[in-house]
Amino acid sequence: MTFNKKTLASSIALAAATLMASGVQAQMSDDEVRIGYLADMSGTYRDLAGPGGLEALMMAVEDFGGEVNGVPIDVFSADDRNSADVGANTVRGWFDEENVDLVAGMVASSVSIAVTKLLEENDGLGIISGSAASSITNEHCTPNHIHWVYDTYPLANGTAKAVVEQGGKTWFMLTADYAFGHALEGDVTKVVEENGGEIVDTIRHPFPTNDFSSYILQAQGSGADIIGLANAGSDTVNAITTASQFGVVQGGQQLAGLLIFLNDVHAMGLEDTQGLLLTTGWYWDMDDQAREWSERYYERTERMPTMVQAGIYSSTMHYLETVAEAGTDDPETIRAAMAERPVEDFFARNGYIREDGRMVHDMYLAQVKSPEESTGEWDLYDIQATIPAEEAYRPLSESQCDLVNN
């Protein structure tokens, strides 16, 4: 499948003409819309996406009525165990045996990159909500996937820039040794150096890692102002906990958590995380729309949602609405039609899907509240600034994606 904006009109017109000629309400493969949810359901990234992301997807299906144009929506799910091989084999099986129309979720960037290659080979469609590597819509872009919630570019553009501007000039990077960590490290390095800072040293740790003692000792020995954590999930939690035990902050250094999720702050508590700057794509308490949806989610899970879980709902609804309007689940037609529809809901502000597959939207610089400022268990962030959509993400003029005409 080859996608560009010029294919949209012909794709939708062809689908519409076929529907009119056949006299049926919908052109759905296998008389079902089949969605496969792939994520880490039991490991490092379980809490930021995992079963909670599946619950968000099911909320979207239920809110949509459980069917599209008279045909049922069927949902499959699997644990990829943060393994590219497991994830790819699962999706291959879904294509061969289940005729899945959309692959959703996807957290570990290595898994997502492996799956996107399969999507392209099998003419499938995927929406990635949990992965962070900006390369997913840069050098690894395909016409068969969309990247929804966030990526490493705005994380660096938001958090690292703010920290350097506040005086954190020298950085020691502690990086997860796989695609996501490498991408975040690269984006942070670029932002730090462009704003007059310096990366004094970098060390990469295996993914996942339980014992961060030696890494934190090396970071302390570097004398850097800032220890940048280019990791996520339990790796970030373990690194911050170890740094607290070793008195990093008391020694005059500051931690910069470059990908911090709501569940991480909740797990560690405000005593250890207060004052931490972070960039997020969404926060449950940011406005009335976000609060209303989050309260419904909380009723089902007894937890407030992360930005990934909210994004899974948002992207699923956008997909289902597009399928209903187009009257088909054909991947090429739907991928093109989704890009023509603005994304403006409880999750995204000023959102739209670019030709590289990146869904750009406003991002937010937040600071973790102190225990005294917090009014409840999940009252954890204070939104400091909005990063407009056009400023948050990598400009297309810098893109390496083959779908972009620079």
**Separation of alpha carbons 59 and 371, rounded Å:** 32
Task: Name the band, by pLDDT with cuts 50, 70 and 90, for residue 406.
Answer: low
DSSP bridge pairs for 199: 171
**For position 363, what pLDDT does the model report?**
96
* pTM attached to this predicted model: 0.89
Of the listed ranges 14-18, 90-94, 399-403, the least confidently predicted one is 14-18
Helix (H, G, I), strand (E, B) or coil at 102: strand
Task: Name the band, by pLDDT with cuts 50, 70 and 90, for residue 25.
Answer: very low
Q: Which helix (H) or strand (E) holds 296?
A: helix 288-301
The two beta strands, 254-257 and 226-230, are parallel
Helix (H, G, I), strand (E, B) or coil at 350: coil
Q: Who's near 205: CB < 8 A, 6+ residues apart?
A: 174, 175, 176, 177, 212, 215, 231, 235
State the Cα angle at 335 between 85 and 186, rounded to 5°.
55
The architecture CATH gives domain 6-150+286-357? 3-Layer(aba) Sandwich (3.40)
Asked if the model's pLDDT at residue 34 lies above 80, the reply is yes
- Read off the pLDDT of each residue in 151-160 and give the average, rounded to a whole number: 92
**For position 29, what pLDDT does the model report?**
86
The two beta strands, 352-353 and 67-68, are unpaired
Of the listed ranges 24-38, 208-222, 225-239, 342-356, the least confidently predicted one is 24-38
Give percent of the chain with pLDDT exceeding 70: 93
Asked if the model's pLDDT at residue 218 lies above 70, the reply is yes
The CATH label, of 2.60.40.1120, 3.30.70.20, 3.40.50.300, 3.40.50.2300, for the domain at 154-280+363-388 is 3.40.50.2300
Asked if the model's pLDDT at residue 9 lies above 60, the reply is no
- Read off the pLDDT of each residue in 105-130 and give the average, rounded to a whole number: 97
Asked if the model's pLDDT at residue 24 lies above 70, the reply is no
Q: Which residue has the higher pLDDT, 359 or 12?
A: 359
Task: Name the band, by pLDDT with cuts 50, 70 and 90, for residue 404.
Answer: very high
Task: Name the band, by pLDDT with cuts 50, 70 and 90, for residue 2.
Answer: very low
Asked if the model's pLDDT at residue 26 lies above 80, the reply is no
The span from the first CA to the last CA of the chain, in angstroms, equals 21
Give percent of the chain with pLDDT exceeding 90: 86
- Read off the pLDDT of each residue in 121-128 and give the average, rounded to a whole number: 97
**For position 180, what pLDDT does the model report?**
92
**For position 10, what pLDDT does the model report?**
41
Q: Which residue has the higher pLDDT, 3 or 116?
A: 116
- Read off the pLDDT of each residue in 157-165 and give the average, rounded to a whole number: 91
Q: What is the dihedral of CA 191, 347, 287, 392, to 10 degrees?
A: 20
Asked if the model's pLDDT at residue 166 lies above 60, the reply is yes
**Residue pLDDT, tens place only, 43-56:** 999 999 999 999 99
Asked if the model's pLDDT at residue 75 lies above 60, the reply is yes
Structure tokens at 221: 């020995």
Give span(s): CATH 3.40.50.2300, the chain.
6-150+286-357, 154-280+363-388
Asked if the model's pLDDT at residue 312 lies above 70, the reply is yes
